[in-house]
Copies of this chain bind each other. A is one copy, B any other.
């Protein structure tokens, strides 16, 4: 049963970067795609109209862990799924909650069955199993669901990484069994993606990929990156994994990246990415621009009447000066978050759009080289 159609329009002969379209039940998603993060059923500080009309996001992320705890997936199901609840008419991908159980909740206890964890909100105890998180995501009505995985810390010893990876594979098998059962009698609108783990051990990544390919999934994700490792290592793991995954299906690297890294991942055959950086950075006063990062509170912007990014076409840059944005930030005005997030996401999605055009035109290597020349090593914002 196919729930998605992935159409590859062009492949860069030098790098393997691909341009395509992922056809979902909630519309087409041109790839490579960067997916804005809407953790709690909203991309922070933006209306769905900002996202569709201004930023032209085709797919956003929701977070299973958060939405399960609050307001609860049953309520969301009653509201017409997350699409109805959040009034978002385009595609939605939900993660499985594995990463948040690992990063947010305390007192988690992992066993073969699943993971018992305490809510970071009220300390209440909950169990996630590979099957239950599929059911929660069915209730959310996600176009793309993710299997429950165990995300290992960095650094970790190989033995621990192996045992964690093997658990992730067994969980993925259970998730798929449950998913295929659950899809009987449902419209073919929900895909399930398994997640390649293996920490920073290329051998484990290879083993994991090989095992997951047996599931014949419609897409494969690479997880367990952006967990504190040096960034070149994230790219190395991606390069070691992506070529092993089926070439006719999308590849999704979870939780990346910096603006200058987007082309790095595409160059390694990655089609989908997500990261909180543009929205979280915005809230901390960090604006990504063609001239580099602007830390808007700096005094040098006090009387700067230029737009945040003179090369940007977003509402924020068409309308307001750096001096005004700085004033809003210094004054704690809520409007700053809206305007800065609107800009940062536009900036990210514009990179993806230009990258996609470059691939289609056979000019990706030039594009890639240009972003490398521009990349700055320092990064004041942590993810």
Contacts and interface: CB of A to CB of B under 8 A. Distances in A.
Interface of A: 40-42, 44-49, 66, 70-71, 75, 78-79, 85-87, 302-303, 305, 315, 319-321, 323-324, 326-328, 330-331, 333-335, 337-339
Which 3 A-B pairs give the minimum distances between C-beta atoms?
Answer: A45-B334, A71-B327, A42-B335
A92 to B, nearest CB: 15
A327 B40 contact: yes
B46 A302 contact: no
A47 B87 CA distance: 20
B335 A85 contact: no
Contacts of A330: 70-71
B79 A40 contact: no
B338 A47 contact: yes
Nearest to A327: B71
A319 B79 contact: no
Given A78-B303, A87-B320, 13 more contacts: A40-B328, A41-B327, A42-B333, A45-B338, A47-B315, A70-B327, A70-B330, A71-B327, A75-B302, A79-B305, A85-B327, A334-B337, A334-B338
Contacts of A70: 327, 330-331
Contacts of A302: 71, 75
Q: For the complex formed by this chain, how many copies does it contain in all?
A: 2
A49 to B, nearest CB: 7
A54 B150 CA distance: 46
Given A70-B327, A70-B330, A302-B75, A47 B321 contact: no
Q: Could you say which of A40, A48, A331 has the most chain B C-beta atoms within 10 Å of its C-beta?
A: A331
A75 B40 contact: no
A31 B346 CA distance: 39
A380 to B, nearest CB: 22
Give the most central of A302, A315, A321, A338: most B CB within 10 Å. Answer: A338
A44 B335 contact: yes
A47 B334 CA distance: 10
Contacts of A339: 47
B47 A335 contact: yes
Contacts of A320: 87
A331 to B, nearest CB: 5
B335 A46 contact: yes
B334 A334 contact: yes
A303 B71 CA distance: 9
A333 B44 contact: yes
